[in-house]
């Protein structure tokens, strides 16, 4: 397997003494960054390395030396771990009847346990669909599977089209990938491709090799080159790369030894550096609102962010399963001489803005929050990849089956560009719920699907109350726009992969499919229609790549929250830098793209600061 290591090298040092504790006198920094994930972590480190005193605030603790988080193979355990998990309970639609059919609906039994399913015990409290996030130094990059994938060029260029800022052109954004990675697998002198031991793909007697070659045939690839293609660099460069159907080798933000490389690593390295960079990290601190200067009281003036209000203590947010109702912490105010940067993530960044008076005026007034600036786009435009899987039980163990990764185009794709990211192997993945995934034994075989460029971004993140400890109301409104076409794309992808399963032969065949079509997969077998599969995906699709709730947009867009330099419209000294800034869902996996924009934001902010300093 190929790996890429972000250049955020882990520091082997105990850092507890470095973390700031609540101070009696006012704290003042040049920059305050709220949130240490892929957006905020690299950004705070870069600002400090440029010489600016920077405070990085994180609501969770530090698990950088905990093997559950440090070793990427334990990502399922990390995502389930109560030590860092924040549970958001979301909806997929406004239709209660449809919601009630989601097979992994979760309920609170009242005895400290969850029930997952459609037949809850009497008295159980409905929670919804689990969407776990990570409250920990390094954010969700500390509990994810570490997959590194790039958006299509169009996903970058849309920002150019909206704002006129050519620094967002896809060809320019590539340099930020180079800045965050330390490549460990490409051969010297070869800038585009990686190579690995894929000897299994050359063994014609293996069932998985026959599946591989059949997929190649069905997707327009050369079956004779399949063994060669499985080692192709998934982050390759090329003018037509977004239209290239091919097998690839997955890239991860991890070392070749499987050690997780994340913002945590870079933060720790920055703190431990002998250069003594001015970075301070405050853990177990929940930001309750952004503070603005008195200009908010002067009609016609532009408010400026001057700091944040913080509640200090562990497990203060109600998404934390360890939260004790009624628990609060001491409140303090911390000030920024230059800027406040919100990097709380797709759910928490819009929540913090709204609690601070930045958002849709009517929603803020509903909760008695004074309006600083009416920005109707805050919390809107929520989007995500649709995900699903073709899962079955083979006739023999599959634990030695080589992994197949491919990007391809279904026959009904709306453009020439690829619309499906898939990977097949001996694993089960069906979404998230407490205790996921289901263990089906050593004969399980799955092809997981990620739908690229979903046509609907109709979801929202809305306040539940004015209490910063409450979680917001989150509704993705799956398939609200263009849903029928998206569903058919998922079905056609499943049909292609199922057809390839029929070529498995002994010893894997026949494979007993569990979903979306129940029954044995074998030549001549057709068990369910496209319409039945569309209904399955409509009810059971899941997601974990949320984006776009504080979207960048043009001056003429009333729903734009940010300009192209991440600045919140209508105020000064306030930016947002995380996956919420993308106008559209960025490719198949947002972790690496978010780290890339984090470094871009640092470059923009530092350039602006130095330009301002020269004028003084």
Q: Per residue in 257-271, pLDDT tens? A: 888 989 999 999 999
Burial of 222 per CB tally in 10 Å (0-12, 13-18, 19+): exposed
Instruction: Find out whether 573 is annotated in a ligand binding site.
Output: no
Q: Are 505 and 210 in contact (CB under 8 A)?
A: yes
Residue 554's pLDDT band (boundaries 50, 70, 90)?
very high
Q: Is the pLDDT of residue 23 over 70?
A: no
Residue-wise pLDDT for 524-540, tens only, equals: 888 899 999 999 999 99
Instruction: Find out whether 461 is annotated in a ligand binding site.
Output: no
* Cis peptide upstream of residue 510 (ω within 30 degrees of 0): yes
- Angle, helices 263-272 vs 40-49, to 10°: value is 20
Show Cβ contacts of residue 58 under 8 Å, excluding neighbours closer than 6 positions.
35, 36, 135, 136, 137, 281, 282, 283, 284, 285
Please state the rounded mean pLDDT for residues 133-147: 95
- Angle, helices 591-615 vs 170-180, to 10°: value is 100
Instruction: Find out whether 136 is annotated in a ligand binding site.
Output: yes
Element (H, E) at 229: helix 226-229
Q: Is the pLDDT of residue 54 over 70?
A: yes
**What's the pLDDT at 481?**
95
Residue 350 vs residues 255, 315, 485, 558: alpha-carbon distances, Å? 34, 20, 30, 16
Q: Which residues pair with 333 in a beta bridge?
A: 309
**What's the pLDDT at 199?**
78
The CA distance from 512 to 215, in Å, is 19
Q: Are 590 and 576 in contact (CB under 8 A)?
A: no
Q: Number of helices (H) and strands (E), helices first, in the chain?
A: 14, 26
Burial 394-415, CB ≥16 within 10 A → b, else e: bbeebeebbbbbbbbbbeebee
- Angle, helices 40-49 vs 591-615, to 10°: value is 30
Instruction: Find out whether 300 is annotated in a ligand binding site.
Output: no
Q: Is the pLDDT of residue 273 over 90?
A: yes
Q: Is the pLDDT of residue 204 over 90?
A: no
The CA distance from 121 to 527, in Å, is 33
Q: Is the pLDDT of residue 239 over 90?
A: no
Burial of 566 per CB tally in 10 Å (0-12, 13-18, 19+): buried
**What's the pLDDT at 184?**
58
What percent of the chain shows pLDDT beyond 90?
85
**What's the pLDDT at 121?**
96
Burial of 600 per CB tally in 10 Å (0-12, 13-18, 19+): buried
Instruction: Find out whether 146 is annotated in a ligand binding site.
Output: yes
Tokens of 364: 């803020």
SS3 181: strand
The CA distance from 206 to 213, in Å, is 11
Q: Is the pLDDT of residue 438 over 90?
A: yes
Residue-wise pLDDT for 66-82, tens only, equals: 999 999 999 999 999 99
Average pLDDT, the chain: 92
Q: Is the pLDDT of residue 322 over 70?
A: yes
The CA distance from 451 to 26, in Å, is 48
Q: Which CATH number fits domain 192-251+384-460+481-540: 3.30.410.40, 3.40.50.720, 3.30.420.40, 1.25.40.10?
A: 3.30.410.40
**What's the pLDDT at 183?**
62
**What's the pLDDT at 188?**
47
Neighbours of 322 (CB within 10 A): 10
Q: Are 260 and 114 in contact (CB under 8 A)?
A: no
Q: Following DSSP, what letter does each residue of 6-54 receive, concatenated?
A: ES-PPP-S--GGGS----SSPEEEEEEEE--STTHHHHHHHHHHTT--E
Residue-wise pLDDT for 451-469, tens only, equals: 999 999 999 999 999 999 9
What are the phi and psi torsion angles at 449 (to 5°)? Answer: -120, 135
What percent of the chain shows pLDDT beyond 70?
93
Handedness of CA 315, 317, 319, 323 (dihedral sign): positive
Q: Following DSSP, what letter does each residue of 555-605 receive, concatenated?
A: TT-TT--B-TTSBBTTSBSEEE-SGGG-SS--SS--HHHHHHHHHHHHHHH
Residue 127's closest CA among 137, 117, 138, 140? Answer: 117
Q: Is the pLDDT of residue 196 over 60?
A: no
**Domains of the chain, residue spans:** 4-70+138-181+257-383+546-615, 85-132, 192-251+384-460+481-540
Residue 299's pLDDT band (boundaries 50, 70, 90)?
confident
pTM above 0.75, yes or no: yes
Please state the rounded mean pLDDT for residues 564-592: 97
Domain 4-70+138-181+257-383+546-615 has CATH 3.90.180.10: no
Q: Are 351 and 286 in contact (CB under 8 A)?
A: no
Instruction: Find out whether 147 is annotated in a ligand binding site.
Output: yes
Which of the pair, 486 or 197, is modelled with greater confidence? Answer: 486
């Amino acid at each position: 397997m190929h790996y890429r290591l972000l250049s955020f090298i882990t520091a082997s040092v105990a850092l507890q003494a470095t973390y700031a504790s609540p101070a009696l006198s006012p704290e003042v920094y040049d920059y305050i960054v709220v949130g240490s994930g892929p957006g905020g972590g690299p950004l705070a480190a870069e600002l400090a390395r440029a010489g600016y005193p920077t405070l990085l605030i994180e609501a969770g603790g530090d698990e950088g030396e905990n093997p559950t988080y440090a070793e990427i193979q334990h990502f399922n355990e990390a995502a389930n771990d109560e030590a860092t998990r924040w549970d958001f309970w979301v909806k997929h639609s406004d239709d209660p009847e449809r919601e009630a059919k989601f097979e992994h609906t979760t309920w609170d039994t009242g005895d400290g346990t969850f029930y997952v399913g459609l037949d809850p015990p009497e008295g159980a409290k409905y929670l919804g669909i689990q969407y776990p996030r990570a409250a920990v130094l390094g954010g969700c990059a500390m509990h994810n599977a570490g997959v590194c994938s790039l958006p299509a060029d169009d996903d970058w260029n849309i920002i150019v089209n909206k704002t006129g800022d050519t620094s967002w052109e896809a060809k320019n954004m590539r340099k930020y990938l180079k800045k965050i990675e330390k490549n460990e697998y490409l051969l010297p002198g070869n800038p585009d491709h990686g190579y690995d031991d894929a000897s299994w793909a050359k063994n014609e007697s293996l069932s998985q090799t026959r599946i591989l070659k059949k997929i190649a045939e069905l997707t327009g690839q050369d079956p004779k080159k399949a063994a060669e293609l499985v080692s192709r660099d998934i982050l390759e460069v090329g003018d037509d790369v977004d239209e290239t159907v091919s097998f690839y080798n997955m890239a991860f933000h991890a070392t070749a030894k499987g050690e997780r490389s994340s913002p945590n690593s870079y933060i720790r390295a920055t703190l431990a550096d002998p250069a003594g960079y001015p970075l301070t990290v405050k853990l177990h601190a929940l930001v309750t609102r952004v503070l603005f200067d008195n200009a908010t009281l002067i009609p016609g003036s532009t408010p400026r962010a001057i700091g944040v209000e913080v509640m200090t203590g562990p497990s203060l947010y109600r998404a934390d399963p360890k939260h004790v109702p009624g628990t609060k912490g001491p409140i303090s105010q911390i000030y920024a001489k230059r800027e406040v940067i919100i990097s709380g993530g797709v759910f928490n960044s819009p929540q913090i803005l709204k609690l601070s008076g930045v958002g849709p005026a009517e929603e803020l007034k509903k909760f008695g929050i004074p309006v600083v600036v009416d920005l109707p786009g805050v919390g809107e435009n929520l989007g995500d990849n649709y995900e699903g899987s073709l899962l079955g039980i083979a006739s023999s163990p599959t634990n030695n089956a080589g992994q197949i990764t491919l990007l391809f185009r279904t026959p009904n794709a709306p453009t020439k560009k690829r619309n499906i990211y898939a990977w097949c192997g001996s694993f089960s993945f069906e979404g998230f719920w407490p205790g996921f995934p289901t263990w089906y034994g050593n004969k399980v075989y799955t092809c997981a699907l990620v739908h690229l460029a979903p046509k609907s971004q109709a979801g929202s993140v809305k306040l539940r109350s004015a209490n910063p400890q409450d979680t917001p109301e989150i509704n993705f409104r799956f398939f609200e726009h263009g849903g029928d076409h998206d569903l058919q794309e998922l079905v056609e992808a499943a049909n292609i992969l199922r057809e390839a399963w029929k070529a498995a032969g002994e010893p894997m065949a026949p494979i007993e499919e569990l979903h979306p079509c129940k029954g044995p997969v074998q030549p001549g077998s057709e068990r369910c229609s496209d319409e039945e599969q569309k209904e399955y995906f409509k009810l059971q699709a899941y997601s974990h790549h949320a984006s776009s709730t504080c979207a960048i947009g043009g001056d003429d867009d009333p729903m734009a929250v940010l300009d192209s330099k991440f600045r919140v419209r209508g105020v000064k000294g306030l930016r947002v830098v995380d996956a919420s800034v993308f106008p559209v869902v960025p490719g198949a996996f947002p972790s690496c793209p978010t780290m890339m924009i984090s470094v871009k934001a640092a470059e923009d902010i530092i350039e602006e600061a130095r330009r301002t300093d020269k004028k003084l």
